Structures are given as C-alpha cells and as structure tokens.
Structure 1
Amino acid sequence: CTEIEADPHRLIQILTNLIDNAVKFTDSGHVTVKTEKQGSGYIISVEDTGIGIPKRHLLRLGERFFRVDPSRSRELGGTGLGLAIVKHLVKAHGWEMKIESEEGKGTAVRILMPESEPAEEKLSNCSA
C-alpha cells in the first residue's frame, strides 16, 4: 500500500500550470501526462513535443518572471510565474522537480514524490 501525502488543491495547481505550459508551447505534436511507480514513491511527468528550451535557460526555469522568449510569452499570455509557483509548491511538499528539454524536440517535467509513512490506523487497510 503506497501513500503520497499532498494538498489536493496544490497538486491540481501544479498539474494545471505544467499542462498549460506544455500546451502553450506545443504548436503541433502532443502532450503526455503520466504517473509511474519508482522505488518507494511515484513520478508524475508532463511531457511535450513542443519547441523545447535552450540549455542555457534550463537553470533559470522556476525563477519568478523569467521567460525563455519574452516576445512569444507576451503573444501567448502569462506572467512568467507558472513554473516559479510550481517550484515553490513542489518544494513545500518536500518533493523534487526535474526538467529536461531539447530545443526543437520538447520538454519533460517530472515531479518526484516519495512515499509517505502510513498512519497506524491505515496500516490495517494496506495488509489486505
């Protein structure tokens, strides 16, 4: 029995921001959202086949108001706060965020969520 501790409203906010970014920067192609078990936790991935992000900008992702291409961001809307909010919420949960991207091929954002210690009263439900 695996249990992940999360504020459901904040988890929805994280996913909404990540999916919105993926859709916004994928003119053609696709966006994939998946979960997978890894070790004693889970990974949620949002992957796209969009425009990708130049390597020189990867370390700045998650900074408030940072935009990879300010002209394109203004055209599509947004404040440059989406990934900063995601980064803050992920950190507040004790999770980890990894971003991989290749210019012209797309971006993958992975949220690594370790398993929580189950409460004693829930242990009986896990053993069935």
Structure 2
Amino acid sequence: MLLNAINHSPPEGKITVQIHRKTGNIQVAVSDEGPGIPAEELPFIFERFYRVDKARSRKEGGMGLGLAIARSYVEAHGGRIWVESIPLRGSTFYFTIPVV
C-alpha cells in the first residue's frame, strides 16, 4: 500500500501513514494525494491481476498483485482491508488486524 501511494502521488504530494488502536484491533491507514480511483473501479481493486490504469505496461506498472496479496495477508490474520477514494484528490487504504 505504501509503494502504491508513492508510485501514484505527484512528486511533491503528501503521503500519510496513521496507526491507531481501535476496539481490540490495530488500524493502519495509508493516504496519498494521487489521482484517486474511480468509484466503478473500487469493487475490483483487491482482485488478483486488476489494475486501474489498463494502459500501463508491466514495465511501467505492476502486475496487479500487490493489493490482492495484502488482502490475503490481512484476512489470514483475521483482519479486513478496504479503500476510500475521491477522484483527483487521493485515496486512503485501511486495514485492521486483531490485537494479540
């Protein structure tokens, strides 16, 4: 999630990482000032091989596995993962994991 924020933010864009303890969970939020994700793309963002920008080649973009892998790790530890995004303003990716 952090690498995606770096790759999709403008050079002078701000990236924020926040960690909070909430009701038996740790919540992590990674926010960027990138182009955002269109609402119609959000349901698919954690699917394997899914990329928002279909024009990107493997050389320029990833393979669409990073967020799917993140979802697998988070869910394997009993957590959940989601995204909130506003086109042209940026995205915030969240995940929670239970406190052990």
In the superposition, the TM-score normalised over structure 1's length comes to 0.71
Mapping of residues 1-128 of structure 1, within 5 Å: 18-28=1-11, 29-72=13-56, 74=58, 76-116=60-100
What's the CA shift for 1:76?
Answer: 2.8
Q: Which has the higher helix share?
A: 1
Cα RMSD (Å) of the superposition? Answer: 1.5
CA distance in 1, matches of 2:74, 2:64: 17
What's the CA shift for 1:38?
Answer: 1.2
Max Rg structure: 1
Gaps of 5+ in 1: 1-17, 117-128
Say if 1:24 and 1:76, in contact at 8 Å, map to a contact too.
no
Aligned residues: 99
Q: Which runs of 4+ in 1 moved over 6 A?
A: none
In the superposition, the TM-score normalised over structure 2's length comes to 0.90
CA distance in 1, matches of 2:25, 2:74: 14
Describe the shift of the 1:62–1:113 C-alpha distance in structure 2 as closer, same or farther (beyond 3 A): same
Identity %: 37
Secondary structure of the 1:83 match is: helix
Gaps of 5+ in 2: none
